[in-house]
Amino acid sequence: MQCDEVQRIADLYIDNLLDEESMSAVKRHLFICPTCNHDIETVLTTISLIRSQVQPEQLSPSFKERTTAMLLDKLRDHLHPSQPALSAIQWPLPID
């Protein structure tokens, strides 16, 4: 795997969304490439720092319900039928 390929799928690697073979290929590349390793480590460190400093807000169930309905309505034309329902997607947002 080359640097440009790693950079293209770095977000998926960071979010742990790659298949096992691609995850292994990225890990092998990161082992031998200090540039890509530094880039990904920087992002992971930043995510970790943000998560450690931001406390999840307590939202009322009705707020979550209204927000989900609004997002579904706004994104309806952009969601592919094979994608999981919006309510099933787990976003790493600082809300509980």
Contacting Zn ion within 21-80 (CB under 5 A): 33, 36
Number of residues that bind Zn ion (CB under 5 A): 3
- Do residues 88 and 68 lie in contact, with contact meaning Cβ atoms separated by under 8 Å? no
Alpha-helical segments (H) within the chain: 3-14, 20-32, 34-53, 61-75
Residue 11 CB, shortest distance to Zn ion, in Å, is 15
Residue 60 CB, shortest distance to Zn ion, in Å, is 46
Question: What whole-number distance in Å separates Cα of residue 30 and Cα of residue 24?
Answer: 10
Identify which of residues 11 and 65 has a Cβ nearer to Zn ion in the complex. 11
Give the binding site for Zn ion (CB under 5 A).
3, 33, 36
